[in-house]
């Protein structure tokens, strides 16, 4: 197992290097003029050239990348071109916001999906149809619409929760909970819709297996069969989907963070990418790659733990 993890981490590091190079290249290729964007259309060409030179943009792209890489490996990700903030500080300040969202959504989605999926798979009939219809609705509703409705109802009209902003957990745990509840709710809808269908399908598949019939024949209570045997075997496919969704959540987080005015990684990615703030974008790309690698590793390890058949030799 340790060998497997080490190999995966080494592959991840290589992936990080390749992606960093490609990203830098892609970001530098467009015919953009950062100095001009920074100083605005009213600035003299000489001032624009001076600005570009000050940022080192007058050098060849490969030199720029080598410079970025040598600093990055030492932990120096540079300074944002558009806000002058230290990139590491900027990203770490926003990371807890998005991390709160993603972990919150994963917890909520796991709990609710498993409850709904098992309920539908075990009981079938009306309960099953109900969950399936819920799933279709949850999947079909556009994320931004769900988010807007949730804000309007629970924040603007009922005033139960704040409509915008984020309170750090360290500042006030209850404030933190109140600021992330609605965003988590909004993001969970699609996740629950997807994962609960996976769980339902897997539960039905497992229930059809011969060994379940044998267990039943031996007189085991249904609750024990479901908890001990069905859930364990049905978890693997659900976990894979959850893992994929966790990564995909970043996309949903963009919209939710924008509508809730949350200063997280999602809204940051959009704002800084439109500006063309390469030091910040590179840091975000690196962070995402590391996140994806780690999550996939975690999911594989968990599936292996749940299902011995899936373990690598």
Partner 1 sequence: MSRTTRNAALAGCLAAVLTLTGCAGGGPQGSAGAQLNLATLTSPQSLDPSQAVGSALPFFQAVYDTLVKREADGEFSPMLATEWTYDDTRTALTLTLRDDVKFADGSAFDGAAVKANLERFKKGGGAAAKWLKDLTSVEVTDATHVTLKLAQPDPAMLFYLSDAAGLMANPAAFAKGDALKTTPDGTGPYRLAKAKTTIGTKWVYERNADYWGEELPYKELAISFFDNETAIVNGLRTGQVNAALLQNADQQISIESDPRVKTTEQEFDFQGLLLFDRGGAITPALKDARVRQALNHAVDRKTMLATIRQNRGAATGQVFGPDTAGYDKALDTYYAHDPAKAKSLLKSAGYAKGFTLKLPRMSAIVNDALASSLTTDLKAVGITLKWEELDGSTALRKIFTDRAYPGMVMNMGQAADDWIVVNELVTPGTFNMFGSTDATVGKLLPQIQSGGEKQKEAARQLNRHLVEEGWFVPFYRMTYLHVSDGTVKITPQSGMAVPSIYNYAPAG
- Which positions lie near partner 1, rule CB under 8 A? 30-34, 36-45, 47-48, 50-51, 54, 79-86, 90, 93-94, 115, 148, 151, 155-156, 159-165, 172, 174-175, 177-178, 181, 223, 227, 258-261, 263, 267-268, 270-271, 274, 276
Q: Which is nearer to partner 1, 20 or 79 (CB)?
A: 79
Min dist CB 274 to partner 1, Å, is: 7
Q: Which is nearer to partner 1, 177 or 293 (CB)?
A: 177
Extended strands (E) in the chain: none
Q: Which is nearer to partner 1, 266 or 291 (CB)?
A: 266
Q: Which is nearer to partner 1, 89 or 209 (CB)?
A: 89
Q: How far apart are the first and last CA of the chain?
A: 8
Q: Are 41 and 29 in contact (CB under 8 A)?
A: no
User: What is the CB neighbour count within 10 angstroms for residue 35?
Assistant: 21
Alpha-helical regions (H) of 151-230 = 173-207, 210-217, 222-224
Buried b (16+ CB within 10 A) or exposed e, 53-90: eebebeeeeeebbeebeeebeeeebbbbbbeeebbeeb
User: What is the CB neighbour count within 10 angstroms for residue 176?
Assistant: 18
Instruction: Return the H-helix or E-strand segment holding 71.
Output: helix 61-73
Min dist CB 119 to partner 1, Å, is: 9
Q: Which is nearer to partner 1, 131 or 292 (CB)?
A: 131
SS3 79: strand
Min dist CB 227 to partner 1, Å, is: 8
Min dist CB 130 to partner 1, Å, is: 15
Q: Which is nearer to partner 1, 104 or 138 (CB)?
A: 104
Min dist CB 210 to partner 1, Å, is: 25
Min dist CB 152 to partner 1, Å, is: 8
User: What is the CB neighbour count within 10 angstroms for residue 96?
Assistant: 17
Which of 74, 82, 101, 3 is closest to 35 using CA atoms?
82
Q: Which is nearer to partner 1, 11 or 222 (CB)?
A: 222
> How far is the C-alpha of 214 from the C-alpha of 228, rounded, in Å?
14
């Amino acid at each position: 197992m340790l060998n497997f993890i080490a190999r995966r981490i080494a592959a991840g590091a290589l992936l990080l290097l390749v992606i960093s190079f490609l990203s830098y290249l892609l970001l530098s290729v467009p015919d953009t003029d950062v100095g001009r964007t920074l100083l605005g259309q009213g600035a003299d060409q000489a001032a624009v050239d001076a600005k570009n030179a000050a940022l080192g943009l007058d050098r060849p792209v490969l030199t720029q990348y080598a410079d970025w890489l040598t600093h990055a490996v030492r932990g120096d990700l540079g300074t944002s071109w558009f806000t002058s903030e230290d990139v590491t500080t900027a990203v770490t300040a926003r990371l807890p916001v998005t991390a709160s969202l993603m972990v919150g959504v994963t917890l909520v989605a796991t709990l609710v999906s498993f409850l709904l999926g098992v309920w539908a798979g075990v009981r079938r009939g009306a309960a099953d149809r109900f969950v399936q219809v819920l799933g279709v609705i949850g999947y079909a509703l556009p994320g931004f619409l769900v988010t807007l409705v949730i804000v309007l109802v629970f924040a603007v009209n009922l005033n139960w929760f704040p409509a915008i902003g984020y309170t750090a957990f360290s500042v006030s745990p209850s404030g933190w909970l109140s600021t992330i509840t609605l965003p988590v709710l909004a993001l969970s809808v699609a996740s629950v819709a997807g994962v609960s269908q996976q769980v339902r399908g897997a539960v039905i598949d497992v229930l059809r297996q011969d060994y379940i019939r044998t267990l039943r024949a031996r007189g085991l209570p249904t609750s024990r069969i479901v908890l001990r045997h069905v859930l364990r075997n049905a978890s693997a496919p659900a976990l894979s989907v959850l893992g994929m969704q966790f990564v995909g959540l970043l996309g949903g987080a963009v919209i939710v963070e924008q509508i809730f005015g949350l200063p997280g990684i999602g809204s940051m990615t959009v704002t800084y990418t439109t500006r063309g703030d390469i030091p910040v974008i590179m840091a975000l790309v690196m962070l995402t790659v590391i996140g994806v690698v780690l999550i996939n590793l975690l999911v594989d390890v968990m599936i292996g733990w749940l299902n011995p058949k899936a373990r690598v030799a």
